[in-house]
Structure formats: structure tokens, C-alpha cells
A and B are shown apart, each in its own frame.
Chain A
Amino acid sequence: MSRLAVPKTYKLYIGGKFVRSESGRVYEVSSRKGGFMANAAKASRKDARDAVVAARAAVSGWSGTTGYNRGQVLYRIAEILDGRRAQFVEEIAASEGVSASAAAAQVDEAIDLWVWYAGWADKYVQVAGNANAVSGPYFNISVPEPTGVVAVVAPQGSASLLGFVRAVAPVLVSGNAVVVIASEQAPLAALSLGEVLATSDVPAGVINVLSGSPAEIAPWLASHADVNALDLLGAGDLDWVDLQIAAAETLKRVLPPESGPDAGAASIDRITFFTETKTVWHTKGLL
């Protein structure tokens, strides 16, 4: 007896919950060969707004944990991702039209990248911070602090999981909360990663995943006054100059789009870009 297929409708991941789009819209996600894979929610500007509210609420808690603890939480994501390799390999192979071994290689690279970034959580301050040289009896110390809420347009091309991880993982290391617009054509890796996040130890709201049209949602995030920085890594096909102009209105940090296989490749610069440097002065004890 043949089984009836269970077509899945993926939801958005906002504030630690899986929610439908406020607009009620969904769109069909197709495999590379054109076959139906799943439905995904098509996020509206109000979903983006809700995601920013959730992210803002999560910033103080997430940035308040110790770097050591954040590293553990990020490592735990890699662990759970590893436990669900098979699902990711299958989804990537179908949606990108690549071989199972190529898909598996991409998943492995994504997991390794999580682990690499997780390791930076309690180390990047030592590299990016400094005891500044002064000519007096006091200390002058600079430390990087997370900038707050970061909006990310994930890479839209090939390597949907790896591109997503390259965009999101470095932002989280320093304690930022992130609102990310997944790949429009191949959002399943990002949405499944949302399901991974829900069962890991990441506090609700630290990562919010929107699926839908980046052209529709990104301008609202770029102009949103409660977003502190914008990563346009995957926005190469959008009017990203307009997004930069909108972001300048509220003095956001903006990373421009990148293309090619090395777009968003592992780098400590992607961590430190989303930080603000705090410099403090302190007297030396004169005993």
C-alpha cells in the first residue's frame, strides 16, 4: 500500500517560536529539478518588525553571558547539527541539485565552521581588545562589545547551509542578536537550522529566521531604528546601495555584499565588525 506524502509547511522562527507569517502568505519551495519540496512562510514587514522586537529583548541576556558560556552554547548547536546531518544532506542535495557527497561535504564544512566560531567566543576579546599605551599613572583599556541587533541578508546563491552559517555564526559570537532573511530560493536549510536552534540552548530571540523575499523585507530592516548593524552578505542582487543609504539614516554599521565561493569566508573580522569598542580609563594604585 502506498503512503500519502506529508508535504511540510515550514514556519518562521521568531523569538524562539515557530510562527506563521502575520500576512498568512506562503510560497512553494522547489527542488533544483522543479519538483515540489515544501511550503515556506513568506514573511512580511510586520514579521520583520516582530523579529526585531524579539531580538532586542534577547540582546541583554545573550550579551550578558560570559564568552565561555556563549562558546559552549554555540558548540552545542554544532553538536545538534551534526546529529541531524542526514536531513540536511537530503534537503541540500534536492534543493541545490548537487550529489549527496557534495551536500555532505557542505554540511561538514558548515558544522566545522560553527565549531571554529564557537571557539572564538572567549578569545576574540583578547585579540580585538587592547591595553593602550599611555604616558601617565593610569590604565587605558579598549574592549569590544556587541553592537546589539544585527539584520542579515543570507547568501542567496549556492551552498544554502554553508552560506547561512557563514553569515550568522560570526555575528552571534560577541553576543549580538540576529534577524536573518534566508535564501529565497533555497530556504529549507536555514529553516531546518531553526529547528536545530529550537532544541539547542540558544535563548529565544537570539536568532530569528525569516523566509520570503529579501527585496520586500530588507528595506524595512535597513531603515529600522532599532537595528544596529546590517550585513548585506547575500544582498548582491538587491538595490543594496539604497539599503546602505537607508541604514545611514540611523548610523548603522553595514557590511557590503560579497560574491563567489569565498563570500563570507571564515574570518575574525566578521566577528569584530559587529562590535563597538569601549575604552575605559582607570587609575593605577599608587602605593
Chain B
Amino acid sequence: MVAQALLEVRNLVKVFKSGMMGREIVAVDRVSFNIEEGEILSLLGESGSGKTTIARMILRLLKPTSGDILYKGRNIWKLKGRELIEYYRQVQGVFQDPYSSFNPIHKVDRPLLQALKNLQGIEGSEALKIIRETLRKVGLNPDEVLGKYPHQLSGGQLQRVSIARALLVNPKLLVVDEPVSMLDASTRIDVLNIFADLRDNEGVSILMIGHDISLSYYISDRIIILYKGSIMEEGETDAVLGSPLHPYTKMLIESIPRIEEKWGRKSRIRLDVDQKPTAMSGCKFLDRCPHAFNMCTRKPNLIRKDNRKIACWLYKNNYNQDIA
């Protein structure tokens, strides 16, 4: 028996229409990947890469235009009633903005109590006990946050409450969308450490959406680099970020400001003319790529190359091989 991935994304496509007869924007373009049990996988991309759209589709908040998302082999868009509740008991999410993750008119207790009541059927003093335990687990003092309104807490505290909400039901998979990008640098790393501990101690799988390469490097087992809705490069963290092959990954890494060294005199970064993702026949990185050649007007497939997968014509030795 072949080991089944925890979550499989197959040929996922999302097209947004703007206006009634407006033009179509392809936000996610035939994306496939797996999330294995007990791993931290990072989807890295800049704005317009489709990373957040993918997260929302996995969380069943946005319907794909086509393609499937299978959780433990079952299509999540076919789940109904009890099965859907069971899905959210196993798959939970955390969003980027801690302030809009809480309804300003309710105390922060409410979403926590709601999650336990609706997903686990636990209420009353038992619920409160679990909530207090979970808040402590994410580094909060329950007495400092319970009974408070969102505007009485800091962004860092709110984000931890939001993480606690997701953890209340002991999920198997956590989808976290830019969970620390709105937090101050000095508190970011502690939140990331919570995720790392979850993976190590409880075997939780985590899909982290992000744009900060150093943060993803710090925490992830595997990395997927997205650009304009397509996967450019995918593999183990050390391989993809340590010795990148795709010209886009290389440009990304070249652009990171580092505190250990200053940039060289002049970069070769070409800026995008139009950042909106559109359906194109060729490689999406074509107009910014320093190595582009005639082959690149055709869309490269994601092929296996050594220890990673890559979609680039520079590595075309596996010419006829489709997605490995």
C-alpha cells in the first residue's frame, strides 16, 4: 500500500472575474502538491502569487474553479453536515491580521467557546479548563486575556489567542496564512517556535503561507516557491533555499536584506511591468528572467531534477517527463 499524503492538492485552479463581464484573473494556475503528516511546508511567494487563495481553498472558504483538494483521500468539497464539522475538527487555520480575526463587538472568549461547542460539543467548566490550558500552551496568561475585548489586547496577544482557537480542537493540519507578518520582529520568532513545537511534540502538520524567506527557512521542512499562481520550485528547505536552481528563486534570495553582509554594488533585478496574474502561454517569469530564451514562450512543466522539482526550461534534460 502506498502511503497516502495527509492532504493532496491536484491541478488546483482559481479564476476570479472582475465585474459582470470583466476580465478574468487566473490567481491559481494548475497547482499540485501534497502535505505529509508531521511536516511543516511553506508556500513562499510575493503578492499576486496566489498563496493566500490556495490557503482559503484548503480551508474550504473559497471554491476552486477546478481541481481537487483531497484530505485523507476524500474530496473536501463533497463533505456535508457532520463530515464538514469533522473536517474543521482536523483542519484549522490562522490568518494574517490579528485585529480583523476578532469581531470587535465580542469578547475574545466567544470564538474560543464557539469552536469547542460546535466542533467538540464541549461547554461549561470543562470548556473553560481546556481554553485556559491551550492559552498557556501558546505562552499567554489566561487571566490577562479572558474577558477582554479585542481592542484591549496587543496584536501579538491577539495572534496568540487566534492560534489557541485553532489548537483547541487538536487539529491534524494547521493552515497558517502569514501568521507573523503583522507582528513586531521581537515577538515573531516566539510565535514561530510555537508552530515548531507543535510539529515536534504533537506531530501536527503545518502549511505556512509566507513571503519572508528567512522565516520560512527557519521553520520549514519543505518549501514551495510560487510565482503568479504557478509553482516554480519545490523541495527540501536546504535544497531550494540553500542552493536554488530556478532563476526566480535566485532573484528572491539575492533580494533579501541580510544583517551579516551588505549587498553588492548593483543587482540585476528587473521589476515587473504588470503585477496582475494573467493566463499566459509561456513561463510566467519570462519578462523578468535574466536567462530567458526562445524555449520560454512555452509553459515549462514541473519536473524532477536531482533533489527537487523545478519548472524551468534551463533544466530541460527530463524533457518528456511530466510532473514527476
A and B form one complex: no
A positions within 8 Å CB-CB of B = none
B interface residue numbers (CB < 8 A to A): none
